[in-house]
Structure 1
Amino acid sequence: MAGCGEFDLIRQYLTGLGADRGDVTYGVGDDAAITCPPASMPAVLALDTLVAGVHFPQDLPAAAVGYRALAVNLSDMAAMGATPAWALLGLTLPASDADWVAAFAGGLDRLARLNNVAVVGGDITRGPLTISLQITGFSPAPLRRDGARPGDRVWVSGRPGDAAGGLEVWQSAHRQTPRWQGLVRAFAEPRPRIALGQALRGIASAVIDVSDGVLADAGHIAEASQVALQLESTALQPSARLRAWAGAAAGQDLTLAGGDDYELLFTAPDEAGPVIGQVAGQTRTPVRCIGRVVRGAGVDWGGQNADAAARGGYRHFD
């Protein structure tokens, strides 16, 4: 399909994306969107920027890029225990490509509708392929990362490391091999844990989403809460499919430091274990206890000090 101007792309492909929410007075089509936030409900806002070749492979399908652009923001909402509502999209394209934009919009729209998010506006510009997406949500009691206390247990959802393994598969000659498609999906279509985050309100003492790797993000909780996190090596093992792909040693490294999982790492009082088990069942989210919070600083893994900055966590300017 021939290229077209930015206003044509917006009208044809980026208007009406996501849920049809009753609290959107006016969406795409004016200088700014008009929405009606719920009274006396704290707003929760997040923004992420994805750059081709840095946050996703240049050849990742456009639909997966659109999906991931929203997923990383929804994961931030999950970590805050928030209900997502409205999104603004900034799309920078190297050239006008209506087919690419249509596929991108389809992937974004699918995840937005699943999570009752309305895309209410944004902008398209020319330049290196970059996606910025800002999301607004609400929570009666937002979760934070600075509430962990000695005696708490440390938990994580899902299968950390699988997304990093999936990126390896995508970059290899095996990207089409059926055996490894579960890993590829873990990278291309992560599952933001919105329901789990909301259910953890009033239960978890600190929460963060695992975007930079378990060790790095555990370090963020430790620093914010001024405590130490002791992680058990036997509890934080790679999944069977990740071991099959990468082997035990490399699979362990990806589990600890791979990043891009968009799972939830959280702490909670020791006595909350049974309730967390119930929450996991109700939200259909696998969780496991992987350690405990103690006095001190930093992260300890399997009896060894784990320098989160050295072991993992993408840093743009290092």
Structure 2
Amino acid sequence: MMHRHKNAAARAPHPWLLNAGLFAALLLLSAISLGIGSVPIGVADWWQAVASPGMAEGLALRHQAIIEEIRLPRVLLGVLVGMSLGVCGASLQGLLRNPLAEPGILGVSSSAGLGAVVCIYFGLWHWNAWLLPTVAMASAALATFVLYRIARRGASNLTLILAGVAMSALTGALISLAINLAPTPTDMQDIVLWLMGSLADRSFDEVRLSLPFIVLGLLILAFSSRQLDALTLGEDEAASMGVSLPRLRAQIIAGTALCVGASVAVTGTIGFIGLVVPHLFRRAVGYRPSALILPSALGGAVLLLAADIALRLLSGRVELMLGVVTALIGAPFFFYLVLRERWRSR
């Protein structure tokens, strides 16, 4: 297996072409997302509304309000959350050396969701808006740390997945308990809809709330990527090459907690992005974790924006939830990966 990966790394082209293509796709999807909706806005119209806000009047003024208050925050959150989930998936797979590691499957996202639900249920976020992402990030960090301790003991892929399933079941049961004890049907509906994950009805308040945490988390994970290359050889070999394993583990856990916690706090639970995206580009970058970070970031943003555009085009009177769409995409892909791992183990 290692020999095959070395050969693939030698044949892999420079990733700049892949990154350039993903960036172009991201720009295209952002432009499409700004234009579609109940009020279609052409490229020339929304560009005029954004580029010349002081000159807008009449219909252009209406377009400007729609873009600035509704669609632009939705696009920015889609990019931020997609990047964070993609990079977290690539980093967790590198740290745990497990191709099936992903925040949603391993229960990290649901743990962050539990922390956020606790804040919503008890109304803590009304006291201070920063409590919601803080508690969500602390819950995500705890879940990531527990999973790492399990993986460190030489657990198999199956054991790690079962641990993630158990963690998801526990957090799901506690979330269901909160829903069951919700004081009013409106509170129950708010929690359920929020947990499904969505970019709809978000404003720049959510962007400002999540931006510093996500950017900090992405920087931590990006600066840790070079050390993940050495970890592919094994923990003993990485330590002999000067890699501080405790520091690397702490960095990955902290970066994942910041990204996942902040993302879940503003959009709810959106799964499978971190699983699908790294697998799409791992071979293209020669199986190097450090070279996979940027494509995973751009690819995560592209996939999340594409899913959001698809649900907006396919939805009728009631808009589909984004977490449902990503699950419909990711679940079959997860089954494929599980079957592929089984075939390779024979």
The alignment's TM-score, normalised by the length of structure 1, stands at: 0.29
Of structures 1 and 2, the one scoring higher in RCO (CA 8 A, sep 6+) is 2
The structure in which a higher percent of residues are helix is 2
- Structure ranking higher in strand proportion: 1
